[in-house]
Structure 1
Amino acid sequence: MSATDCPLPDEGEFWLFGYGSLIWKPPPHFDRRIPGWVTGYVRRFWQASQDHRGTPEAPGRVVTLISRSYWEQLTDHHDSAPDKVWGVAYRIIPERVAEVKEYLDIREINGYTIHYTPFHPAPDVDASLLPGTSEGHIKTLVYIGTPDNEQFVGPQDPQELAEHIYRSEGPSGLNRDYLWGLEKALDLLSSESGDEHVTDLSNRVRAVAVREEGKIQADIEILRAQSPVNVSPGLESLHHHHHHHGFHKVSSVDEQEETEKAS
């Protein structure tokens, strides 16, 4: 089912839940952004990305949600997960809902399907920003790469996954920038919004980056010692590429990156 086929979740109000890139890369035409959480799910880097953080020949890795009941049946090296999956809910301006639904359908073509889930706003959210609900939650639309989709890769050894993320890159940029962007965005939501799976992978990828950067620097020093005036500009450039860990604008593709698979 596409977003354009779906009814409005809450009597004319269209709310979208983001648990990955959507946290820091909003959809167009929203007028409210609410931090909070959903329950009953586990967030994992178990979805392949062939179109944004990888290629069909070398897919990257991005996050999806897995039902906790299904996850508990699996063998996961990260054997614990928070009860709350923190993220952000966006209310789309009513007159732009159809346009945003079409945008999301295009953005979410690589294995993600539509689901609805109750979203619980953080306690410090201004009540005036929330729709009137007697149960204290908002019904939100969310894109999930379920285990039966072709891009779902399932449990992976954390170190092997970190090495894979470090190496991967696609039209929207480096896979590791996506991981570090998610880690930073989660840390900014709340004092309790961190995710051990994301944090551990981020630390492992940082260690890989230090290791690989050290190898490149060592190669440069060897070449300088052998021929001080003929160090390859390409090798110097590669060292600079690995040294840069900040966010960057890569192309217009970046603006169209999928809701839960962005940088």
Structure 2
Amino acid sequence: MADDFLLTRAFIEAGGIDALVAQEAPDLQCWSEAERAASLHCFMQNRPPGDVWLFGYGSLIWNPTIHNTERRVARIEGWHRAFCLSTRAGRGSADNPGLVLGLEPGGDCVGVALRIEEASAVAELTLLWRREMLTGAYVPHWVDLLDEHGVRFGIGIAFTVNPEGDHYAGDLPEAEIVRRLATAAGSLGSSADYLFRTCDGLRLHGVEDAELERLARDVRAEQAKLSGGASG
């Protein structure tokens, strides 16, 4: 199995993600450092007052790679997580693209909010932009972070999916989502492991996402069926 924690802080700082994409999907147009810096600068022009928080809803829950001083379960409104982003590198390939999570409009989402220390905010967000704003597949937004009582305790950064982007895959039928998650893999691990780790990470924080858990069961069943077919 591929090293699921190859996506480390040091790996990102060394430009490893860009090199990985250049090798595995050379036709993908990645943003330059200057473009990411400009994006971050523009985004922070509208920073609300208070602490800087990051809303994690997928791999940022179990592998944030940024330094944070506090973790809190949080709910956001107006967005829901979905496997709507296709990837041909990292957790998929050109022949069998994988899927990772994005936030789509509508509903709500429970995840984990990470507070970033003010003194290191610039450095941490620069690292975060290298990781998340690789190709412009995400659009960052400021979102209200709500506690279990529905009371806002902060405003955080949430990476929503860009529906106009080349990697958007929000219209896939359920069977194809399950197939991709069950079979796609790349140098950072499998799409299935990404799903399973997200379920585990949420449960560790006392959160159980019924839709994700159902999808995980379907993916495991699909893997078992494929494994049985191969051996039979």
Q: Give the TM-score taking structure 2 as reference length.
A: 0.75
Q: Which has the larger radius of gyration?
A: 1
Matches of 1:48 and 1:163, distance apart in 2? 13
Residue in structure 2 matched with residue 11 of structure 1 by the alignment: 49
Say yes or no: does 1:115 pair with 2:129: no
| Aligned residues between the structures | 192
Measured after TM superposition, the shift of residue 102 of structure 1 is 1.2
Say yes or no: does 1:206 pair with 2:220: yes
Whether contact under 8 Å (1:114, 1:141) holds in the other structure is yes
Measured after TM superposition, the shift of residue 63 of structure 1 is 1.0
Matches of 2:100 and 2:227, distance apart in 1? 24
Whether contact under 8 Å (1:3, 1:114) holds in the other structure is no
The equivalent position to 2:155 in structure 1, one of 128, 132, 139, is: 139
1:176-200 deviation line (CA, Å, top 9, x unaligned)? 1001111222233335x4141x222
Classify the secondary structure of the residue corresponding to 1:86.
strand
Whether contact under 8 Å (2:183, 2:223) holds in the other structure is no
User: Unpaired runs of 5+ in structure 2?
Assistant: 1-37
1:23-52 deviation line (CA, Å, top 9, x unaligned)? 111232110111111011121111112332
Whether contact under 8 Å (2:97, 2:180) holds in the other structure is no
Whether contact under 8 Å (2:82, 2:101) holds in the other structure is yes
Classify the secondary structure of the residue corresponding to 2:152.
coil
Residue in structure 2 matched with residue 158 of structure 1 by the alignment: 174
The equivalent position to 2:189 in structure 1, one of 167, 173, 178, is: 173
1:157-212 deviation line (CA, Å, top 9, x unaligned)? 22221111111112211111001111222233335x4141x222211110111112
Residue in structure 1 matched with residue 117 of structure 2 by the alignment: 93
In the alignment, residue 143 of structure 2 is paired with which amino acid? T
Measured after TM superposition, the shift of residue 12 of structure 1 is 5.3
Matches of 1:52 and 1:114, distance apart in 2? 21
Measured after TM superposition, the shift of residue 120 of structure 1 is 0.6
The equivalent position to 2:229 in structure 1, one of 207, 215, 224, is: 215
Matches of 1:56 and 1:103, distance apart in 2? 26
Whether contact under 8 Å (1:3, 1:104) holds in the other structure is no
Quick one: percent identity of the two aligned structures?
26
Matches of 2:225 and 2:168, distance apart in 1? 29
Point out which structure has higher relative CO (alpha carbons under 8 A, 6+ apart). 1
The equivalent position to 1:194 in structure 2, one of 178, 203, 209, is: 209
Classify the secondary structure of the residue corresponding to 2:159.
strand
Measured after TM superposition, the shift of residue 152 of structure 1 is 0.7
User: Unpaired runs of 5+ in structure 1?
Assistant: 69-82, 125-134, 219-263
Matches of 2:169 and 2:224, distance apart in 1? 27
Whether contact under 8 Å (2:181, 2:191) holds in the other structure is yes
Q: Which has the higher strand share?
A: 2
Whether contact under 8 Å (1:9, 1:15) holds in the other structure is no
Matches of 1:67 and 1:107, distance apart in 2? 22
Matches of 2:126 and 2:152, distance apart in 1? 29
The equivalent position to 1:66 in structure 2, one of 79, 93, 104, is: 104
Measured after TM superposition, the shift of residue 11 of structure 1 is 2.9
Whether contact under 8 Å (1:9, 1:141) holds in the other structure is no
Whether contact under 8 Å (1:45, 1:63) holds in the other structure is yes
Say yes or no: does 1:84 pair with 2:99: no
Residue in structure 2 matched with residue 34 of structure 1 by the alignment: 72
Matches of 2:80 and 2:157, distance apart in 1? 17
